[in-house]
Amino acid sequence: MKIDVVTLFPGWFEWFTQQRHVQNAQVLGHELDFVDLRASTPLNAGQVDDTPYGGGAGMVMRVDVVEAALRERYGTAPPPHRTIALSPGGRRFDDALATELAAEPALTLLCGRYEGFDERVHEHLATDVVSIGPYVLSGGELAAMVVMDAVMRKLPGVLGHEDSALEESFSEALEGAPEYPHYTRPFDWRGHTVPDVLLSGDHARIREWRLERSRERGRS
């Protein structure tokens, strides 16, 4: 998979790209790259935004600036693959969408700033508008990292132990529910002990117990 992030702040991703699973993904041949929106703006003095039609506070990111960045990168705009504009008002990001995106050969993530993108970016340059939750961040960079992290850990080999991503919260294996509780040593911590079933060695019972705890969490 090839992921490009279009951003005004490529430096935000320096820490992210140093993380183990992100580096694992790159060793496996997946590519991660960052496109600086300001580098290709056709406007003077690196301008990328403008005042909103109709008035109001803040600045809006211009559609022609985003188009120029995409054309320089791909020779065409919109790009020839799935392109996600990050926005608080978009489709809520969830495990199902992460699984869907992990199957794509290429993704472009568009990070907004200020008041966000001119609506025509959403309508004509992106295939999807995605929100990581009902709150407002200062920019799309953290949202892009959330999306990339969730997508990349689903790529075979990235976690190093394949089962981890198959049976975890919200996965099909757990019927879409949160994961069951985990315990490790010590068995007795200040009087709080581990459920007996987990020490029984009876794998069918353990599996049933875990599924039931997971379903309970899903109902609450």
Interface residues toward ligand SAM, by CB under 6 A = 86-89, 111-113, 115-117, 131-133, 135-140, 143
Q: Which is nearer to ligand SAM, 148 or 177 (CB)?
A: 148
Q: How far is the CB of 34 from ligand SAM (least distance, A)?
A: 15
Q: How far is the CB of 41 from ligand SAM (least distance, A)?
A: 17
Determine contact, residues 215/175, Cβ cutoff 8 Å: yes
Angle at alpha carbon of residue 209, lines to 207 and 214, rounded to 5°: 95
Q: What's the rounded Cα separation, in Å, for the pair 174 and 192?
A: 26
Q: Which is nearer to ligand SAM, 137 or 194 (CB)?
A: 137
H-run or E-run covering 207? helix 203-219
Q: How far is the CB of 57 from ligand SAM (least distance, A)?
A: 9
Q: Which is nearer to ligand SAM, 98 or 174 (CB)?
A: 98
Q: How far is the CB of 77 from ligand SAM (least distance, A)?
A: 18
CB atoms near residue 186 (< 10 Å) = 10
Chain position whose Cβ is nearest to ligand SAM: 112
Q: Which is nearer to ligand SAM, 115 or 168 (CB)?
A: 115
Q: How far is the CB of 136 from ligand SAM (least distance, A)?
A: 5
CB atoms near residue 204 (< 10 Å) = 8
Q: Which is nearer to ligand SAM, 7 or 214 (CB)?
A: 7
| CB-facing half-sphere around the CA of 108: CA atoms within 13 A | 27
Measured CA distances, 161 to 169, 201, 202 (Å): 16, 22, 23
Those residues whose C-beta lies under 8 Å from the C-beta of residue 182, and which sit 6 or more positions away, are none
Q: How far is the CB of 218 from ligand SAM (least distance, A)?
A: 24
Q: What's the rounded Cα separation, in Å, for the pair 155 and 105?
A: 11
Place of tokens 């919260």: 169
Q: What's the rounded Cα separation, in Å, for the pair 70 and 88?
A: 22
Q: Which is nearer to ligand SAM, 117 or 209 (CB)?
A: 117
